[in-house]
Amino acid sequence: MNFKDRKLKLFLNYIEELTEQYDELLNQKKELLAELEKKAMYDPLTGLFNRHALIEFLVKEIERIKRERGEKLIVIFLDLDNFKKVNDIYGHKKGDEVLKEVANLLKTHFRKYDIVARFGGDEFMVIVRNRNKGEIENVLRKLQERIEEIFKNFEISVSYGIAVAPDDGTDIDKLITLADRRMYKMKEKHKTKKLDK
């Protein structure tokens, strides 16, 4: 092997090292992208899906029920009552603890394949497939009782509203607005009940 051949072999070995390093960098890039994607989908405080991810799921689910006739999709909007008081009186740290606990309760009351998301602040949303409205109302009542029991000292409860696709339409904004409006009706009832007491 003369010097010229050895030099050529050296350059080939260099290219091999370069390729391996780039493969490693590509893998690192893929892992980083997956991590970023995960971060972009989840709410960092509660670990639930975030608003952006929920809308994406909802778009896909609405498309699906449009294709598969007879399928129903339940959209639930939940909002904590008296949550502001916790932040004001006990501070944001306590408020965060309450939100995390509510997130855990939501996860345990719904199935693994239902979509549970934090919509923002103390608002949550759940998308449920293949269950009837009556069943879901039972689950929500149980959840409500559990929340009231756990956060008795803070007088926290939960109000919710339900919209069903395609019965209430298949427009995403309309379904969310409807569930939100129904949640408000319940919230008003809770307020009146409290005043009566």
Partner 1 sequence: MDTVIVSSQNPILRFAVKEVKEKAPKGFDFALFSISPNYPYQDVPATIRKEFGSINYVGFSSNSAFENIRVVNDGIVGCFFKFSSPKTKVSTYVRDNVSRDNREDIKREIEEFLTGKEEKLNIVIADFIDGEFPILLEDLGKEFQKKGIKTSLIGGIIATPMRDNRRQKGFLFHNGSVIENGFVIISFSNLDFQFRVSSGIFKKGPVYTVTKTDTFKIYELNGKPASYLPRKLLKDIEPSNDNKTLLWYTPFGIINEENEIEALRVIRSFTDDYIELWGPVKKGERLKLSIVLSTEMIKDTEKTAENLKNSFGMVDFSFNFSCIAREKILEDFENEEIELYCRLLNAPLFGFYTHGEVAKRNGKLRIHNLTSTIVAVRERYEL
DSSP 48: S
Q: Where are the alpha helices (DSSP H) in the chain?
A: 3-41, 51-67, 83-90, 92-109, 133-150, 172-196
Instruction: Tell whether residue 130 is a contact of partner 1 (CB under 8 A).
Output: no
Can you tell me whether residue 116 is helix, strand or coil? strand
Instruction: Tell whether residue 9 is a contact of partner 1 (CB under 8 A).
Output: yes
Instruction: Tell whether residue 21 is a contact of partner 1 (CB under 8 A).
Output: yes
Tokens found for residue 98: 């309450």
Can you tell me whether residue 108 is helix, strand or coil? helix
Using CB under 8 A, pick the residue from 11, 35, 155, 185 that binds partner 1: 11
Q: Cα–Cα distance between 54 and 50 in angstroms, integer? A: 6
User: Minimum CB separation from partner 1 for residue 30, in Å?
Assistant: 18
Q: Given 43, 79, 114, 122, which residue is catalytic? A: 122
User: Minimum CB separation from partner 1 for residue 1, in Å?
Assistant: 6
Instruction: Tell whether residue 135 is a contact of partner 1 (CB under 8 A).
Output: no
Phi, psi of 98 (to 5 degrees): -60, -45
Instruction: Tell whether residue 104 is a contact of partner 1 (CB under 8 A).
Output: no
User: Minimum CB separation from partner 1 for residue 2, in Å?
Assistant: 10
Instruction: Give me the half-sphere count of Cα atoms (radius 13 Å) on the Cβ side of residue 163.
Output: 24
Instruction: Tell whether residue 17 is a contact of partner 1 (CB under 8 A).
Output: yes
Q: How big is the site for partner 1, counted in residues (CB under 8 A)?
A: 14
* 81 has catalytic annotation: no
Q: Are 112 and 50 in contact (CB under 8 A)?
A: no
Catalytic residues: 122
Binding site for partner 1 (CB under 8 A): 1, 3, 6-7, 9-11, 13-14, 16-18, 21-22
